[in-house]
Chains A and B, each alone.
Chain A
Amino acid sequence: MNNIVIDINNLSKVYQIDPASEKSGARTLQEDLTKMFRPSRERKGRSRRKEEVWALRDVSVQVSQGEVLGIIGRNGAGKSTLLKILSRITEPTSGYADLYGRVGSLLEVGTGFHTELTGRENVYLSGAILGMRRAEIDRKYDQIVEFSGVQKYIDTPVKRYSSGMAVRLAFAVAAHLDPEILLIDEVLAVGDVSFQQKCLGKMSEVAGGGRTIIFVSHDMGAIKNLCSRAAWLDGGELKALGSVDKVVQEYLVASTERGEWHTQIADREDRSGNGSLRFTGFHMCNANGEMITSVVAGEPIDLVLSYEREATNVTNVTFFIWIRDAFLKGMISLSNRWTGEDLTALPPNGEIVCRLPKFPLREGRYFLDLGANFNGIKADRVSRAVPIDVISGKYYKTGKVPNHPNDGDFLNEHSWHFGS
């Protein structure tokens, strides 16, 4: 590999967890003072109870210039810890990393935003916090404001902004950060969909310009789009490192075996959106309204989503179900955005049903991503929320269906006759 700009060597991070105190780090003066006056034997017994948690263990990765490395793994696998060490927010316990070039990190959108200040003031504040010099912000100011699309309100305090506007402005500042090395955590998790696309585009542009990027995400689609290589962290250790397709595939196979979707949708932590709606469950019904566990190709089916939502007025409600194959390739996008049904009269909690008159996919295992947007802003998004198994059925009257691997994924109603 030529021109290594990020050289990570046996990096480890240990957190000391004291089970006696609820919080991990901060102590109180009261605690320490009382400890001082306690008999020493008791003190020793107490300190021995400390537990060590390895957030990161002997991770070595090299990234060469211009490369985009994706980091994947479950929650708590050490992805964020790695980024925090590389961006110097926290120190490693052992090992080291060499970084050659100016480092910018984007671990959160809108870090340091202050709602009492105006948009303009926040652009400067946020830019400076992200490591831009004042002159640099001056130079990019017009671009940033134009990118954000909030020109009209730039001298209004941010507390009067809708949450969407604030996020757009924060994103715009971040998207104009151009250090040689960019560290990005799951920042694309908020904001409305079209603006996210714009930011992804801007970031790809940055990546194309010879920048080196480390990108952490749960979104395998984004990882595959942006990255050339991927590292898979599991329990703080590096499980795989290689081409993005290979590593993502290994990761998906492993998490399929582990049966990750068995987690109740309501309890899933790895979701995104502002939470004004939360999916709480999913089931499927056949034409008679009976609950079913697998789908018969060609049969009618109801996909039923349970949800809870905040009692706020919304004018534009969009639900999505994406059906993906085992490698997360999108097969079908189902949404009232396409069909045009008005779901504004959505009760505070209940079920929303998506009906497919004739299930069009061939035998196999598929995964559903669930999503809901209010007024164009992501309310909830759960990736790989549920797997569905499709079994062969009487799609065509003959009962015959294609069964060769190369016959494609879809079945479609059709007929044959002679042309006139």
Chain B
Amino acid sequence: MQNLTITNNKKKPKWHIRIERSNGWSALNIKELWTFRDLFLILAGRDIKLRYKQTFLGVAWVILQPLLTSGIFSIIFGVLADLPSDNTPYFVFAFAGSLPWTLFASSLQRAGGSLVAGRGMISKVYFPRIILPIAGSAAVLVDFVVGLGIMVVLLFLFQIPLTLNLLILPVLILINLLIAIGVSLWISAFSVHYRDFIYALPFLIQAWMYASPIAYSTSLIPEQWQFIYAINPMAGVIDAFRWALLGKGEFPIISLGVAFAMGLIIFLMGAYVFRRIERSFADVI
């Protein structure tokens, strides 16, 4: 270590940072994010570990939650309301829809609390704050993978054949994540700026859920409203997930395209807003 120090002494340091008031809107600093990639991985790992620490309960809950939700949907919407489920057992239909939705909704919930929970770090250490909500979303991915496993089991149980449609799944997951992280950035920035925003969040998520085709099929929406309906990026994503997993119907190319475009816009604007508000986090939090 001493040797290293001595060579450091002679060498002119290559790092230079100017600290001053930043003005206006600045883009994401990809280079800086890259240098902090280890922190990102360790924080995401921490979230996953904490979630599964109470081993049995943690895993059991991840498995039970989507099954119970789909079960309740099946009873209320499938049996009582007798909503059509595109010729698939309603339970599987609901489960396939809740899979991408849960990734989205849990990510929002995590993001809402991530900055306030990381308050100690924010006020004592510098790092790109955007890592906190993104690491939260990344941790949710593990739950998603568990859900995907259950999905495969369900497909076998209900004797629904796997199709080549499944190959598109990685693309769908990426679009799903893009939207989830994009909205999460808005929500985490808002939740620092407005302390009471966190109370409005569950309602927002719930309203969004009913605006998405989880318990019902997009085919229920009248033709002339379909386009407006597709503005909700989760609609296209959920439809595409059903197409990939259940192997039925037509690939929702238009609504998925809209979802991707919306996701990109939400993400980029979210990143700008986040960067804009980020500067005052330590003073406000």
Contact of B126 among A95, A105, A133, A211 (CB under 8 A): A105
In the complex formed, the residue of B with least CB distance to A90 is B282
Q: What residues of B have a CB within 8 angstroms of the CB of A99 in the complex?
A: 15-19
> Do A97 and B18 touch (CB < 8 A)?
yes
> Do B18 and A107 touch (CB < 8 A)?
no
Interface check A93, CB cutoff 8 A: yes
Interface check B6, CB cutoff 8 A: yes
From 1 to 29 in chain B, residues with beta carbon under 8 angstroms from any chain A beta carbon are 1-2, 5-6, 8-9, 12-13, 15-22
Q: What residues of B have a CB within 8 angstroms of the CB of A211 in the complex?
A: 5
Q: What residues of A have a CB within 8 angstroms of the CB of B1 in the complex?
A: 178, 209
> Do A91 and B21 touch (CB < 8 A)?
yes
Task: Check A112/B192 contact, CB under 8 A, given A90-B283, A121-B49, A209-B5.
Answer: no
Interface check A96, CB cutoff 8 A: yes
Interface check B276, CB cutoff 8 A: no
From 66 to 103 in chain A, residues with beta carbon under 8 angstroms from any chain B beta carbon are 66, 84-103
> Do B39 and A129 touch (CB < 8 A)?
yes
Q: What residues of A have a CB within 8 angstroms of the CB of B282 in the complex?
A: 84, 89-90
CA distance A121 to B47 in the complex (A): 12
In the complex formed, the residue of A with least CB distance to B7 is A210
Contact of B194 among A28, A95, A101 (CB under 8 A): A28
Interface check B125, CB cutoff 8 A: yes
> Do B124 and A108 touch (CB < 8 A)?
yes
> Do B124 and A111 touch (CB < 8 A)?
yes
> Do A103 and B17 touch (CB < 8 A)?
yes
> Do B279 and A91 touch (CB < 8 A)?
yes
Contact of A88 among B8, B19, B200, B284 (CB under 8 A): B19
> Do A180 and B8 touch (CB < 8 A)?
yes
CA distance A130 to B200 in the complex (A): 34
Interface check B31, CB cutoff 8 A: no
Interface check B121, CB cutoff 8 A: yes
Interface check A152, CB cutoff 8 A: no
From 125 to 161 in chain B, residues with beta carbon under 8 angstroms from any chain A beta carbon are 125-127
> Do A98 and B17 touch (CB < 8 A)?
yes
CA distance A117 to B122 in the complex (A): 20
Interface check B76, CB cutoff 8 A: no
* Least CB distance, B263 to chain A, in whole angstroms: 25
In the complex formed, the residue of B with least CB distance to A97 is B19
Interface check A134, CB cutoff 8 A: yes
Interface-central residue, B17, B41, B122, B192, by most chain A CB under 10 Å: B17
Q: What residues of A have a CB within 8 angstroms of the CB of B127 in the complex?
A: 129, 131
CA distance A89 to B283 in the complex (A): 9
A-side interface mostly: loop
Interface-central residue, A91, A92, A121, by most chain B CB under 10 Å: A91
> Do B192 and A26 touch (CB < 8 A)?
yes
Q: What residues of B have a CB within 8 angstroms of the CB of A26 in the complex?
A: 192-195, 284-285
CA distance A264 to B15 in the complex (A): 47
Q: What residues of B have a CB within 8 angstroms of the CB of A129 in the complex?
A: 39, 121, 125, 127
Interface check B123, CB cutoff 8 A: yes
Contact with B along A106-129 (1 / 0, CB 8 A): 011001101011000100110011
From 1 to 37 in chain A, residues with beta carbon under 8 angstroms from any chain B beta carbon are 5, 15, 24-30, 32
In the complex formed, the residue of B with least CB distance to A5 is B13
CA distance A5 to B12 in the complex (A): 10
* Least CB distance, A190 to chain B, in whole angstroms: 14
> Do A27 and B194 touch (CB < 8 A)?
yes
> Do A210 and B8 touch (CB < 8 A)?
yes
CA distance A294 to B93 in the complex (A): 87
> Do A27 and B21 touch (CB < 8 A)?
no
> Do B17 and A111 touch (CB < 8 A)?
no
Task: Check A124/B17 contact, CB under 8 A, given A29-B194, A107-B125.
Answer: no
Contact with A along B174-198 (1 / 0, CB 8 A): 0000000000000000001111110
* Least CB distance, A159 to chain B, in whole angstroms: 11
> Do B279 and A28 touch (CB < 8 A)?
no
In the complex formed, the residue of B with least CB distance to A112 is B121
> Do B196 and A29 touch (CB < 8 A)?
yes
Contact of A116 among B5, B6, B8, B53 (CB under 8 A): B53
* Least CB distance, B274 to chain A, in whole angstroms: 15
In the complex formed, the residue of A with least CB distance to B198 is A29
Q: What residues of B have a CB within 8 angstroms of the CB of A90 in the complex?
A: 279, 282-283
Contact with A along B90-134 (1 / 0, CB 8 A): 000000000000000000000000000000111111110000000
> Do B13 and A112 touch (CB < 8 A)?
no
* Least CB distance, A249 to chain B, in whole angstroms: 31
Interface check B38, CB cutoff 8 A: yes
Q: What residues of A have a CB within 8 angstroms of the CB of B65 in the complex?
A: none
Q: What residues of B have a CB within 8 angstroms of the CB of A98 in the complex?
A: 16-19
> Do A133 and B19 touch (CB < 8 A)?
no
Q: What residues of A have a CB within 8 angstroms of the CB of B195 in the complex?
A: 26-28
CA distance A91 to B277 in the complex (A): 12
> Do A92 and B200 touch (CB < 8 A)?
no
CA distance A366 to B16 in the complex (A): 46
Interface check B42, CB cutoff 8 A: yes
Interface check B50, CB cutoff 8 A: yes
CA distance A98 to B39 in the complex (A): 25
Contact with A along B253-285 (1 / 0, CB 8 A): 000000000000000000000000001101111
Q: Hey, which bits of chain B sit against chain A, CB under 8 A?
A: 1-2, 5-6, 8-9, 12-13, 15-22, 38-39, 41-43, 46, 49-50, 53, 120-127, 192-197, 200, 279-280, 282-285
Could you list 12 further interchain pairs (A-B, Cβ under 8 angstroms) beyond the known A29-B197, A112-B121, A128-B43? A15-B283, A25-B285, A28-B194, A89-B282, A90-B282, A92-B20, A99-B15, A103-B17, A111-B120, A116-B53, A124-B42, A210-B5
21 contacts between A and B (CB under 8 A): A24-B283, A26-B195, A27-B193, A29-B196, A88-B126, A91-B20, A91-B21, A94-B21, A96-B20, A98-B16, A100-B13, A105-B124, A105-B126, A117-B50, A121-B49, A125-B43, A128-B38, A130-B125, A134-B41, A209-B6, A209-B8
Closest 7 CB pairs of A and B: A25-B284, A209-B5, A96-B20, A101-B13, A88-B126, A210-B9, A29-B194
